Structure 1
Amino acid sequence: MRIDRRQLLTLAGASGVGLAATVAGVSTAPAMADPKHQLDPFTLGVASGDPLPDGVVLWTRLAPEPLIADGLGGMSQHVVPVTWEVAEDARFRHVVKRGVERATPELGHAVHAEVHGLRADREYFYRFRSGNAVSPVGRTRTAPSTHDRPRELAFAFVSCSNYPTGHFTAYRHLAEEELDLVLHLGDYIYEGPAAGTLGRAHLPAAEIFSLADYRVRHAQYKTDADLQLAHARFPWAVTWDDHEVENNYADEISEDAAQDPESFLRRRAAAYQAYYEHMPLRRSQVPQGPDMRIYRRLRYGRLAEFNMLDGRQYRSDQTTDPVSLDDPSRSMLGAEQEKWLIDGLSHSAGTWNILAQQTVMAKADRDPGPGEILPNDNWNGYEPARQRLFDGVARRRIENMVVVTGDAHCSMVADLKQNFDDPSSRTVGVEFLGTSVTSGGDGAPMDTRGTEWLASNPHMKFYDARRGYVRVTADSRKLRTDYRAVPAVTTPDAPVSTIASFVVEEGRPGVHTQ
């Protein structure tokens, strides 16, 4: 059964004002002209995101008591003015832009300031003020001009940060890099009740379902000092996977077969709203009930284009039925996003075409013998959709496709073959799978899955199961990835090291060991 999305605006509990109007500062709540905060309202830090050549999104959320169970963060039911400033220096001697946003109770007093009129490819510093309180200072950077070709681009990608299972040390090391951008590829939070053994038990203690629950869970993650530091240091571009809502959900379908679509979409609407409230996203991403368009494209001059994909909201349900697995109507991205992606790749002006997405795209057979053991939640369970993408890339002669992936809690590098059953077939791109920040706990260089993958999949070049992140540097001739890992996440001060590096050369398909 499919639910009328317009009805879900009511089912999700949206007010008559609507979230789009609320983001613009319209609210039914009374306004507080000159707030006097008894406690620091900037406990969740600051962030920036989705940089353009002339601007960036600035984010914060007023929450003097962020972990209160009602999800209100200790704020009253008032609209609160919040001033933002952007400067060329960290001491704010040269302020170049400032403005005021209205933090509303309908959006948990989150602030999304879309700043324009900045110079392209420049470093800036920003902060917020509310009454007598001043936020920490953040650092951000605008994208290069559309027609420029910067000498180099440096970015990193991360995923799967489960709070109870380990310390966010990888975020701290990430903050020490010199980067233009950070990509988060999903599972920013986890929805489960995990208690943990490190003094990092989830709040609320139970699995989360309501808007208040999701707000508290996001706020708990945002209180982590290492995560705050990484957000304050660079602009981020984010997309989600499943755990921002519920494990392994597919479109309107819950993992729990007994849950009716109506109640699941209420939950999804609550989760999407809380996600928007806690991320540096633009007004174009404001959720409408259980719908939120998060796939989008970011351009870095003529050097790179980032295609931020959504592999959860529009996908067909998972299946193990052999007949259904071969059904060409099944999709990972949905028809509209599929077309948007291949058309965008066809008209890309960037040297590097980067697909930032959630789940393993390369064939990942775990049977070392003549048979196949394939997962059904990643692209291996949506082979016709993957083949459409690869055939489209080959037919339209799209070059330099680089797929960056999260979800699997391990690192892997693979050539993407137009026909995985024929190792000599055309290589249409490369995939760099990044490990988790903490999910899965302490890792190791090799595990059973890695042994099986490398034995069964000749297109795979590398595997490692330690935690960390991936640093990427690209210029007009090559793209290099450095896999950065920590030996443990159950100890708070683990060092980081580069465990492997790989290079893709412009116009030469396939990955090469550095």
Structure 2
Amino acid sequence: MPADRPTPESRRQFLRQATLGTGGALLAAGPLSSVLAQQQAPAVITAERLRPQVRSGAMSGDTTRDAAMLWSQTDRVARMVVEYSAHENFKNAQTITGPLALARNDYTARVDLRGLPVAQRLYYRVRFQDLQHKSAWSEPVTGSLIIAGGSGRDISFAFSGDEAGQGWGINEAWGGYRVYETMRRFQPDFFIHSGDQIYADGPIQAEVTLDDGSIWRNLVTPAKAKVAETLDDFRGNFAYNLLDANKKRFMAEVPFLVQWDDHEVRNNWCPDQRIDAADKRYQERDLNLLMQRARQAMFEYNPFRIDSADPQRIYRSFDYGPLLEVFMLDERSYRSANSANAQDRQGADTAFLGTAQMRWLKQSLRRSRSTWKVIASDMPLSIVVPDLNPGVPPDTYEAWANGEHGMPLGRELEVARLLRFIKHHQIRNVVWVTADVHYASATHYTPQKARFTDFEPFWEFVGGPLHAGSFGPGKIDRTFGPDVRHVSIPMDMKQNRPPTELHQFFGIGKIDAKTKAMTVSLHNVEGNKLYGVELAPQA
């Protein structure tokens, strides 16, 4: 075990000190107001009703180079104060007096920690000071993080997606979101959440009868008893997932890199869409309005580092030094409407990433000096995903692929241009990770098996679901020469299988600092390795 990681026993002792609680979470953006070295933890008063409450734990995320975002939430107007130290006992702690948690942001707050050491575990403690009763402090919420990278140090990360979908919510008798505890034991440096972090369109019922007659019992909240339409509905969906103790324990140790997919708003949504009248669950049918509310809630409930030049922007990159850079995409905000996806010319009706994001991705990949470039795509490249929403014509497609197996058409034209660019600019060691389809797979793409051949071979790994119904496997489009090396579920599996059948999956990526080889493995909810491959870096 590396010297910079605590032992399992010290981690357990540290976590026993954590106040993990239950409840919702949000953030209030604002610059750091002061940094005071070696400040003692503030005294707290004993009257519990006067103390700010912190029920959703704390989370770190958007770690890159020497920076990390910290996030938490309280229940009233209060000042966020963060202490952090390289020592578990908070010796020589630095103190950050952060922003106010305000009602307009559901009493959440975040701070951007800068100038942090790389490859060293840092311990943090979050408290809130009541604005009116200055002597009233919340109980501390503790966590730790590590910024991946550093000379001579391996890098590891986890990836998955799809959380609380198809009516499978928190069943505490079953163990809640068990996959988070399993991933935590792998001690990844960070976690890529590939989208469908919530199911805003997926109400949860208190009980579901399983095929064997047993009862699955969900924890239910008012926000999860209906589809999300108001801002508070969307907030409540994010808050629901923070009721799970496994997730809070995981996020107290592992930073999140988050993107979104469709269920943060509604199944298979695209901009300027209206919900068909056949879906009687919705009173609000304007997808642009629902999208705005969903985006706000997602920003509020995650440790996003908001781009000051473009506050709505979700796509971004994270530089972890000479071994790794991660590129998080947004395949929702700029896409065209779902169609037969068979256009023979690229235009507004074939957009998926859109012009500005594609330009950013190409420039960022070309500029990157890291050995490995991981593209986090919220949808897979060759798995055919039909759009089955009410009122949608047959043979309408939701993802990149159209199932034609021929030369690129529709959205595949964007893929072809990107793959050609990567080849012609000699951008090496590009790996794709994704989720969305509710099963895990590993696919190697080669021009020798493709109709479009102007690209270098590459790998794509699919994780998920974290905790949702299991589906698939999907049909494969052969345009880009996919060679499917592993599928995690039976080919004849009945659809929407519950978590009790253990078809919940995640991936682990590890980069060896000495050899620079990347090993990617796929695992089930119990941590069993289902598939693994070692990828040698190309110079």
- TM-score in terms of structure 1 length: 0.78
Counterpart selection for 1:169 from 165, 171, 178: 178
Unaligned runs of 5+ in 2: 1-26, 33-43, 129-135, 170-175, 209-216, 387-393, 403-410, 490-502
Cα separation, 1, equivalents of 2:283 and 2:423: 41
Residue type of the alignment partner of 1:60: S
Residue type of the alignment partner of 1:58: L
Is residue 133 from structure 1 mapped to residue 128 from structure 2 by the alignment? Answer: no
Cα separation, 1, equivalents of 2:353 and 2:478: 30
The change in CA–CA distance for 1:331 and 1:424 in structure 2 (over 3 A counts) is: closer
- 1:9 match: none
Counterpart selection for 1:194 from 204, 209, 221: 204
The offset of 1:224, in angstroms, is 0.8
- 2:442 match: 413
- 2:56 match: 44
Q: Is the 8 A contact 1:362 1:414 kept in 2?
A: no
Higher mean C-alpha displacement, 276-285 vs 466-475:
276-285
Counterpart selection for 1:263 from 286, 291, 296: 286
Cα separation, 1, equivalents of 2:309 and 2:142: 26
Residue type of the alignment partner of 2:247: L
Cα separation, 2, equivalents of 1:403 and 1:113: 30
Counterpart selection for 1:124 from 122, 139, 151: 122
Q: How does 1:384-403 map to 2 (within 5 A)?
A: 384-403=413-432
Q: How does 1:326-341 map to 2 (within 5 A)?
A: 327-329=346-348, 330-341=350-361
The offset of 1:285, in angstroms, is 7.0
The offset of 1:246, in angstroms, is 1.3
- Residue aligned with 1:233, SS: coil
- 2:18 match: none
- 2:377 match: 357
Counterpart selection for 2:82 from 77, 81, 84: 84
Cα separation, 2, equivalents of 1:257 and 1:149: 58
CA offset digits 1:206-261 (Å, max 9, x no partner): 10111111111211111110111111011111111111111111133245489999
Is residue 178 from structure 1 mapped to residue 178 from structure 2 by the alignment? Answer: no
Q: How does 1:269-418 map to 2 (within 5 A)?
A: 269-284=292-307, 292-320=312-340, 322=342, 324=343, 327-329=346-348, 330-362=350-382, 364=384, 376-381=397-402, 382-418=411-447
- 2:66 match: 54
The offset of 1:269, in angstroms, is 1.5
- Residue aligned with 2:141, SS: coil
Cα separation, 2, equivalents of 1:95 and 1:305: 30
Residue type of the alignment partner of 1:280: P
- Residue aligned with 2:228, SS: coil
Q: Is the 8 A contact 1:90 1:137 kept in 2?
A: no
Residue type of the alignment partner of 2:511: A
Q: Is the 8 A contact 2:195 2:261 kept in 1?
A: yes
The offset of 1:415, in angstroms, is 1.8
Is residue 467 from structure 1 mapped to residue 467 from structure 2 by the alignment? Answer: no
Q: Is the 8 A contact 1:251 1:317 kept in 2?
A: yes
- Residue aligned with 1:413, SS: strand
- 1:24 match: 30
* Aligned CA-pair RMSD: 3.2
Q: Is the 8 A contact 1:59 1:110 kept in 2?
A: yes
- 1:216 match: 236
The change in CA–CA distance for 1:401 and 1:202 in structure 2 (over 3 A counts) is: farther
The offset of 1:117, in angstroms, is 2.5
CA offset digits 1:133-189 (Å, max 9, x no partner): 123211111243xxx554311000120011641531101111112211111010111
Cα separation, 2, equivalents of 1:458 and 1:53: 34
Higher mean C-alpha displacement, 385-394 vs 412-421:
412-421
Cα separation, 1, equivalents of 2:448 and 2:334: 25
The change in CA–CA distance for 1:409 and 1:390 in structure 2 (over 3 A counts) is: same
Is residue 159 from structure 1 mapped to residue 161 from structure 2 by the alignment? Answer: yes
The offset of 1:199, in angstroms, is 2.1
- 1:242 match: 262
Cα separation, 2, equivalents of 1:185 and 1:96: 33
Question: What percentage of aligned pairs have identical amino acids?
Answer: 23
Residue type of the alignment partner of 1:412: S
The change in CA–CA distance for 1:427 and 1:25 in structure 2 (over 3 A counts) is: closer
Is residue 478 from structure 1 mapped to residue 512 from structure 2 by the alignment? Answer: no
Aligned residues: 440
Q: Is the 8 A contact 2:127 2:139 kept in 1?
A: yes
Cα separation, 1, equivalents of 2:100 and 2:302: 17
Residue type of the alignment partner of 1:200: L
Q: Is the 8 A contact 2:372 2:430 kept in 1?
A: yes
The change in CA–CA distance for 1:326 and 1:416 in structure 2 (over 3 A counts) is: farther
- 1:105 match: 103
The offset of 1:49, in angstroms, is 0.6
Cα separation, 1, equivalents of 2:111 and 2:385: 45
The offset of 1:201, in angstroms, is 3.5
CA offset digits 1:12-50 (Å, max 9, x no partner): xxxxxxxxx962389xxxxxxx99752762111100011
- 1:10 match: none
Q: Is the 8 A contact 1:250 1:317 kept in 2?
A: yes
Cα separation, 2, equivalents of 1:22 and 1:233: 22
Unaligned runs of 5+ in 1: 1-20, 27-33, 64-74, 367-372, 487-494, 509-514
